[in-house]
């Protein structure tokens, strides 16, 4: 049994299949592969677990399958390791009708999609996300790219996948820390646009942390539906609708860049960043202290950090927040909360309030 959602983008629309065992379902993939050549891109952690299952299903369908296995970690999301994908494509003499399949978490999905956008000026790719975070966020919507030492995700392209296979069965092998990181992005949807979902998460967080399969499937479905609706309304982030998905990300990316990629998982940094956004929203007069405490309590129940890591300072935050894709003409633009379930993008936050939030975060006293 599986659920099918649709990302409605006209002739670039594509389905998301959610269910236990969809990873091995070649029949779900084949209609979206236009040639015979497939490059499977994975990492050293995921490939030993799932690559053979996927490879076997593709080979049985008569496809030619090559494979590249990259190191595992955010610190490898760079030009050097991106080139390994291009090396594999060129060495196998893959044509413009080749299809790249990303088997892994957000790093693998972002890099594979970016490689697909660049190779021969654009080839197809398919997302097979294996972490909760990638299933509910990064595999849907077509944002791809790599990191730069001065800024996260500053180099990339929009490249929509042809299909997404979100296999809930693979979450059984997911480390607990990775599960918590994924829940940060799940919580985000409740905070920015779906108050009913936020209440549902508050009622079921212990079950999600215990990996109840039916609860995880529902959380993935509701998250993907929220993401699909936002992407359909603003695919290329032109009118600030899609930018709302970046709640907590400006603060979180500053943590990731400032501490060094890979020190904190992306979802961990976003979790802390969302609490900072809630704190600043309270200082701006939109949220109440009780609202901020509610956000903090849910993040803690999800096993997420609620303070900046040791070594971060307000100056380090500001240095890296100045390099953010949402900024326009040198003005810092932040995603904040007018109320729980309603986010906005603003460049009008008080500098004094922002400084107070950053100080509180670095002292570990937010919320």
What's the confidence (pLDDT) of residue 149?
93
**10 Å Cβ neighbour count for 126?**
25
Q: What are 173's two structure tokens?
A: 């092998």
Nearest CA among 260, 105, 262, 100 for reference residue 185: 105
Nearest CA among 335, 350, 188, 366 for reference residue 285: 350
For the chain, domains (ranges, CATH) are 3-173 (3.40.50.1970), 176-363 (1.20.1090.10)
What's the confidence (pLDDT) of residue 59?
95
Give the pLDDT of the chain (367 residues) as one tens digit per residue: 799 999 999 999 999 999 999 999 999 999 999 999 999 999 999 999 999 999 999 999 999 999 999 999 999 999 999 999 999 999 999 999 999 999 999 999 999 999 999 999 999 999 999 999 999 999 999 999 999 999 999 999 999 999 999 999 999 999 999 999 999 999 999 999 999 999 999 999 999 999 999 999 999 999 999 999 999 999 999 999 999 999 999 999 999 999 999 999 999 999 999 999 999 999 999 999 999 999 999 999 999 999 999 999 999 999 999 998 888 888 999 999 999 999 999 999 999 999 999 999 999 999 8
Instruction: Quote the Cα angle for 243-180-317, to 5°.
Output: 50
Nearest CA among 100, 70, 102 for reference residue 83: 70
Query: What pTM value is reported for the model?
Result: 0.96
What's the confidence (pLDDT) of residue 233?
97
**Rounded to an integer, what distance in angstroms lies between the CA atom of residue 330 and that of residue 198?**
34
**Rounded to an integer, what distance in angstroms lies between the CA atom of residue 202 and that of residue 19?**
23
**Rounded to an integer, what distance in angstroms lies between the CA atom of residue 7 and that of residue 15?**
6
Give CA separation, 104 vs 165, 169, 318, 354, in Å: 11, 14, 32, 36
Nearest CA among 35, 184, 180, 25 for reference residue 95: 35
What's the confidence (pLDDT) of residue 329?
82
What's the confidence (pLDDT) of residue 328?
86
Catalytic residue list: 121, 143, 185, 227, 237, 242, 246, 249, 253, 266
Q: What are 205's two structure tokens?
A: 């967080």
Nearest CA among 278, 297, 276 for reference residue 287: 278
User: Can you say whether the dihedral through the CA atoms of 288, 290, 293, 295 is positive or negative?
Assistant: negative
């Amino acid at each position: 049994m599986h659920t099918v959602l649709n990302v409605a983008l006209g002739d670039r629309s594509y389905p998301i299949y959610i269910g236990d065992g969809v990873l091995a379902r070649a029949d779900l993939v084949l209609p979206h592969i236009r040639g015979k050549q497939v490059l499977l891109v994975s990492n050293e952690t995921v490939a030993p677990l799932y690559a053979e299952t996927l490879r076997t299903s593709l080979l049985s369908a008569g496809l030619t399958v090559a494979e590249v296995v990259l190191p595992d970690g955010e610190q490898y999301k760079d030009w050097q390791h991106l080139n390994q994908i291009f090396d594999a494509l060129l060495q196998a003499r893959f044509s413009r009708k080749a299809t790249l399949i990303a088997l892994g978490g957000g790093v693998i999905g972002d890099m594979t999609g970016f490689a697909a956008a660049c190779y021969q000026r654009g080839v197809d790719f398919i997302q097979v996300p294996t972490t909760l975070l990638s299933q509910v966020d990064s595999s849907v919507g077509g944002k791809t790219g790599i990191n730069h030492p001065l800024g996260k995700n500053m180099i990339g392209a929009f490249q929509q996948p042809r299909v997404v296979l979100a296999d809930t069965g693979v979450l059984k092998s997911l480390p607990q820390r990775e599960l918590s990181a994924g829940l940060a992005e799940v919580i985000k949807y409740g905070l920015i646009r779906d108050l009913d979902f936020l209440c549902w998460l508050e009622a079921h967080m212990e079950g999600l942390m215990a990996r109840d399969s039916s609860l995880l499937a529902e959380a993935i479905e509701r998250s993907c539906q929220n993401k699909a609706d936002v992407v359909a309304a603003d695919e290329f982030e032109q009118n600030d609708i899609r930018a709302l998905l970046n709640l907590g990300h400006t603060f979180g990316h500053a943590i990731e860049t400032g501490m060094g990629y890979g020190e904190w998982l992306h979802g961990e940094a976003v979790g802390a960043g969302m609490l900072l956004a809630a704190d600043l929203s309270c200082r701006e007069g939109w949220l109440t202290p009780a609202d901020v405490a509610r956000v903090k309590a849910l993040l803690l129940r999800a096993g997420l950090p609620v303070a900046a890591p040791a070594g971060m300072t307000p100056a380090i935050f500001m240095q890296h927040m100045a390099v953010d894709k949402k900024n326009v003409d040198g003005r810092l633009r932040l995603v904040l909360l007018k109320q729980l379930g309603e986010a906005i993008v603003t460049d009008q936050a008080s500098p004094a309030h922002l400084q107070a939030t950053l100080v509180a975060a670095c002292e570990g006293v937010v919320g």
